[in-house]
Each structure stands twice: as structure tokens, then as C-alpha cells.
Amino acid sequence: MSGITRPNNKHLMLCTGRAFPELAEEVAGLLGVGLVPTRSLTYANSEIYVRFEESVRGADAFVIQSHPAPVNEWLMEQLIMIDALKRASAKRITVVSPFYPYGRQDKKHAGREPISARLIADLYKTAGADRLMSIDLHAAQIQGFFDGPVDHLLALPVLVEHIKTHYDVSEMTVVSPDAGRVRLADMWSDELGTPLAIIHKRRDPNRANEVAVGEVVGDVAGRVCLLVDDMIDTAGTICQAAAALKSHGAKAVIAAATHPILSGPAPQRLNESAFEEVIVTNTLPISEDIKIPKLTVLSMAPLIAAAIQAVFEDGSVASLFHRSH
């Protein structure tokens, strides 16, 4: 037999940027590995420099980076890290982006608009990524934008476990805050075995040039209503939905969302809202300046660590969930 055969000595290496190192450290602790020592700098003109301070040759490298504001800076840092790994002869590079940047720009709504979510996938691939891992993509079709394997992780099991532990689901109704989130709400309803309601935005015919009001489709009177979404950005939609549910006789209103973007007026809106609890995950860091007493943050590190372990060992990522996705 010609050629040389050597034993499989795969080597997992975990790298992280500066956006949210605490999440990467938690994942590394669960995997029992250290983070690759990295020198990262931002020069005076805002250019970014990255150098890994130990060899990554032949490694199965995972690059974890969250994308809070400023999104473009952390995205560029991640792309530079991928390029550095490729040029240092890493065997395989997996991008781990818990919150996929530009995920809301997944299709054209009008002429002359970009599909930025596709552009991000192309940038990852061009930089040298072989595989992509993300949590609760804004649209499932983004999986098809990347030319390679995509692991689409779900926060649903983590959030559902918290709900079942702290609430009586027999008196709960899952509510979609708008028509676009009905499929997500339907998944929640199936998982919890609860009724489903929808808030339909429409203009009040009796008031000209007025903003939309929420029309509740479904029975919510006397029920504990669980509003579900994939993200909370400025919190305008979800807080209006909570007010509409309360006005229709809801006993209590709680919210569950994966990505806590929490831009601009979000903290004030949530603090002044009708919510009893707002449940999110740590796919994005939450600034210490943001004070929301009713906010509960659940860790996604165990799920990310389990998915990385499965990919590294050529195991099944789909088996981590109640349903294949």
C-alpha cells in the first residue's frame, strides 16, 4: 500500500474575539479546554489586528464571536480571525455566531435593496470558514446562504424548561406578537401543549393617520399569556403586544426571546411594560448599564459546548433537540 497512514489525532481549539469573552470562557470550561491565547488590537484609525500566540496547524478550530453593537467591528474581527486561522493551516474552521449578524435582511422587500444575510455568509466562506453554527436564525432560509454545513441550534428546549419549571402551563396561552412569528409560536404551542393566539396589527378605521392597534385573535381572557419572539431589539412591538393582551383580560403576561439586543429605549419600555417576567438567553452580552429587574437570562453555553463536541467527534447535532431542524 502506497502512502503514509497515521493515527487520527484531531485537535480541538477554541478561539474567541473581544465582543463577549465571558460566553466563550463558559463554553471552554464545559469542554475542558483553554481558549487559544490571542493578541487583538484596534489601531487608532479603527483597523483591527489579530494574532494567535500558539500553533493552530492541523487543528479543528471553532471561532466564537457574539455580535452586539458595534456589529460591524465585531464581525470584521471575526473575519480577520478566520483568515488568520486559514493562513496558519488550521484543518477545519467552524464559525460559531450565536446571534447571526444582519439576519433580518434575509430577502428583498423592495427594489434596489441588499440581501445582507447572504453577503455575511459569503464573507464567512471567503475568509476561510468551512462550517457555520448559529442559534435561532431570524429566517431558516439563511441556512441555504452558506456554502457548507450549517448547524442551526435551537434555544427552545432551554427556554421551555424554564417555563415548565416556574409556571403552570395548563393556564397558559402562547401568543405571537405579529403575523411573522406565527410559525415560531406554533412550535412553542406544540412543545408546551397550550392554545395559540395571534396579535394582528391593523389600523383603526375610525381614526385617520393613526398607528396600528393590536387585534387579538384567540382567547386570552383569564390566561397567562406567553409572548414569544426570536429577538428583542427596541422592544416596541412586544411591549405593545403585552398592553393589548392586558386590555383583553389576560391574567398575566410574560415574554420569551432568544436574542437580547435591547437597543435604545428597550430597557425603559420593558421596565414600564405589563410583563411580569422577560426571559432571554446570553447569545448577546447585556451591558451593566442596563437595569431590568424583570429580566431573566438563561445560559446557552451548555448547548453550544454540546454542539461543538458533537461536531468535533463527527456526532449528531440534531439529536441534541426534541425535533430535527
Residues labelled as active-site residues: 201
Residue 316: CB atoms within 10 A of its CB come to 10
Q: CA angle, 95 as apex, 308 and 29 as ends, to 5°?
A: 40
- φ and ψ of 110, to 5 deg: -150, 165
Residue 221: CB atoms within 10 A of its CB come to 11
Euclidean distance between CA atoms 290 and 311, whole angstroms: 35
Sorted by sequence, the CB contacts under 8 Å of residue 295 that are 6+ apart come out as 260, 270, 278, 280, 286
Q: Which three cell numbers stand for residue 28?
A: 471552554
Q: Residue 277: which of 291, 292, 294 has the closest Cα?
A: 294
Euclidean distance between CA atoms 214 and 204, whole angstroms: 9
Euclidean distance between CA atoms 162 and 324, whole angstroms: 21
DSSP per residue over 110-166, as a string? STT---HHHHHHHHHHHHT-SEEEEES-SSGGGGGTSSS-EEEE-SHHHHHHHHHHH
